[in-house]
Structure 1
Amino acid sequence: MYDPQSIIQLIAGNVRATRNPFGAFSWVLNRWWKGLGLPRQGDTLLATGLMVQSVPFIEKITGHLERLEDTRWAPFVGYGAWIPKKLVQLGSLFMVRPKEQAPYNQILKDVVTLLRHSGIRFAYRPDLDFYSGILLYDLGDHEAFVAHARFVASQLRKAGVRTLITVDPHTTYAFKVLYPRYAQAVFNVHPYFELLRLKAPQNGHRVTVHDPCFYGRYVKLSHIPRHVLRDAGVVVCDVPQSGLLTHCCGGPAESVSPNLSRHIVTRRVEQLQRTGAPILAMCPICLGNLKKVGAEVEDLASFLVRHVLKPSKH
């Protein structure tokens, strides 16, 4: 296990300097929206929180951390905080290839497709799509989280944003629960699946839904995606460890102990595979972590587009 304080300092330094936990250029992380013709004006904003786009970067970084954990080189990881941020940004240009980003960018495009199909009007402004800071909160750096949250909230308020449509549980929890508490910023927050209007007959598809911790236990929204799936003609096969009783995928532990994270996700996959149905994830961190140990798993939005909106093409 790595020294948590060194990891926290590294992440907090990157967030202060670049507003994302990797120290990357924002345009390197966030280019999925180009060519979609998304409107820029409006008080309802699609807020990705940069989470989905970040998964390829997380996979690269945690891969290195996993190889170094419990070796004589592990204590030197903390010295990454001393690397000049401009150099870190330049390094981000070469960290992840476009083809590695493409599957995760497609998830966001699928969310847009679903919202448009459901008649939801929204805007998207990449200059206002900030990382929420949730990892700082998770790791216990309260001061850094509050400072970042207040900055993000102030930018959104200046732009007249009132409603946020989120695409992952971490960003949802941050804006829905933490920002009112710590940044005195109240927005109308809706995860995208809460707004979907899909109707389809039974289509023979069976799925097992993995509930991320924030949706399952903290904001208690697990029933909504199940209603969406059933309305779309999909049979949901739940395991006992679902909803309020969901088990963690191990993703939040990756930055401190990749080995512990792998142990947790292996146990979780064993639970989910007992139904024999393909697994759906609603969180990019869960999706990446479940895939890491060979699970057959797909994002909820991508599944709905492939099997409900475009079934004849598959």
Structure 2
Amino acid sequence: MYSPKDIIDLLAANVRRTRNPFGVPKRLMNRWWKGLELPARADTLLYTGLMYQAAPYIEQTTSMLERFEDSKWAPYIGYARWMPNYLAGLGLYLMADGKEKTRAAGTLKNIVRILQSSGIRFGYRPELDFYSGILLYDLGDLDGFLEHARFVADRLQQAGVRRLITVDPHTTYALKVLYHKYLGTRLEVKTYFELAQFPPAGGDRSDTTGPVVVHDPCFYGRYLELSEVPNRLLTGLGYHCVPVRNSGPFTSCCGGPAESISPKQSREIMQRRVEELQATGAPIVAMCPICMGNLRKSGAQVEDLSTFLARAA
């Protein structure tokens, strides 16, 4: 296990300098929207929180952390915060898997397609789309989280933003619950799947249906109580949602939040959850980039919720 303080200090330093935990320049990380011609002026904005965009860098970072965990080099991880952020960020950008970057962009484009086919009017302003800071909160750095959250909240307030559509559980919880609790923000926050609308399943959709098992992310299942919404959407499209041992408010964690402190412990937690999901014999549906990346490490067949919904859009 790495020193929690070293990891927190490193992540906090990256967030202060580059506004994301990995130090990757935003202009390189957030490019999925180019060519889509999404309107900038709108009462409601799509807000990604850069979580899906960060997935390839999370995978690369945790792979390196796992390689050196419990080695003689582990105590030196804290010195990484003294490396010039442009150098570290650019290096990570170049090392991250290009296919994973394409996959992440595809997920966000699927979400745009789902919203548009549902008749939702929204815009996107990449200059206002910031990482929420949630990992700092998860790791106990409340001061670091609040410093960053104030920066994000101030930018949104100055732009007159009041309504946001989110795409992942971590950003949703941060903006909807934590920003309001600690900063008093009054943002109206909805997930994209809460807004998705589809006609009832028909014969022309028979090729898309089948059994699936839904993995509820901790924030959606335990704290935001949104587990029933994806299940209802999938059922309405003709899928059979197979029950899993732990779900909803009692969902099992994928192990992702522990990756930065101990990749090995994270893998143990992940393996237990994968066994629960695979016991159903159905393909796994995830709706969180952290869960998606962690569950896939086991070799399990996992697809994002947006992939299933986009087929009907």
Q: Name the SS for the 2:45 alignment partner.
A: strand
Match of 2:154 in 1: 154
Percent identity, please.
Answer: 58
Preserved contact between residue 216 and residue 242 of structure 1 (Cα < 8 Å): yes
What's the offset of the Cα at 1:90? Answer: 3.1
Could you tell me how far 1:206 is from its partner in structure 2?
1.1
CA distance in structure 1 between the aligned counterparts of 2:180 and 2:89, rounded to whole angstroms: 31
Which structure 2 residue ranges, 5 or more long, are not aligned? Answer: none
Partner of 2:134: 134
Match of 2:202 in 1: 201
Q: Which residue of 1 aligns with 2:279?
A: 274
Q: Deviations over 1:31-75 (max 9, x none)?
A: 011111111112311110000011100000000000100111111
| 1:303 to partner: Cα distance | 1.7
Shift, 1:182, TM fit: 1.3
> In structure 2, what is the equivalent of residue 189 of structure 1?
189
The Cα of 1:240 is off from its aligned counterpart by: 2.3
The 3-state SS of whatever aligns with 1:275 is coil
TM norm structure 2: 0.96
One-letter code of the match for 1:111? I
1:250 aligns with 2:255: yes
Within 5 A, what are the aligned runs for 1:43-54? Answer: 43-54=43-54
User: Which amino acid in 1 is paired with 2:74?
Assistant: A
Give the drift of 1:214: 0.2
Match of 1:312 in 2: none
Map of 1:167 onto structure 2: 167
> Are the aligned partners of 2:283 and 2:301 in contact in 1 as well (CA < 8 Å)?
yes
What are the superposed Cα offsets for residues 237-269 of structure 1, whole Å, 9 maximum, x if unpaired? 121201011000000000000000000010100
| Partner secondary structure for residue 279 of structure 2 | helix
Q: Give the TM-score taking structure 1 as reference length.
A: 0.96
RMSD value over aligned CA atoms? 1.1
Greater mean alpha carbon deviation, residues 85-94 or residues 145-154: 85-94
> Partner of 1:283 in structure 2?
288
5+ long unaligned stretches in structure 1: 310-314
Letter in 2 for 1:206: P
1:115 aligns with 2:120: no
The answer to whether the 8 Å contact 2:57/2:93 transfers is no
> Aligned partners of 1:238 and 1:212: how far apart in 2?
15
The answer to whether the 8 Å contact 2:29/2:54 transfers is yes
Alignment check: 8 A CA contact 1:28 1:92 kept: no
Is 1:236 aligned to 2:241, yes or no?
yes
Q: Could you say what secondary structure the match of 2:186 adopts?
A: coil
Please say which of residues 237-246 and 126-135 is displaced more in the overlay: 237-246
| 8 Å CA contact 2:25, 2:86 repeated in 1 | no
- 1:97 is displaced (CA, Å) by 4.5
Q: How far apart are residue 92 of structure 1 and its match?
A: 3.8
More divergent stretch after superposition (78-87 vs 184-193): 78-87
C-alpha distance in 2 between matches for 1:236 and 1:100: 27
Q: By how many angstroms is 1:305 displaced?
A: 1.6
For residues 276 and 98 of structure 1, the distance between their equivalents in structure 2, rounded to whole angstroms, comes to 31
CA distance in 1 between counterparts of 2:86 and 2:285 reads 38
Q: Structure 2 matches for 1:50-65, cutoff 5 A?
A: 50-65=50-65
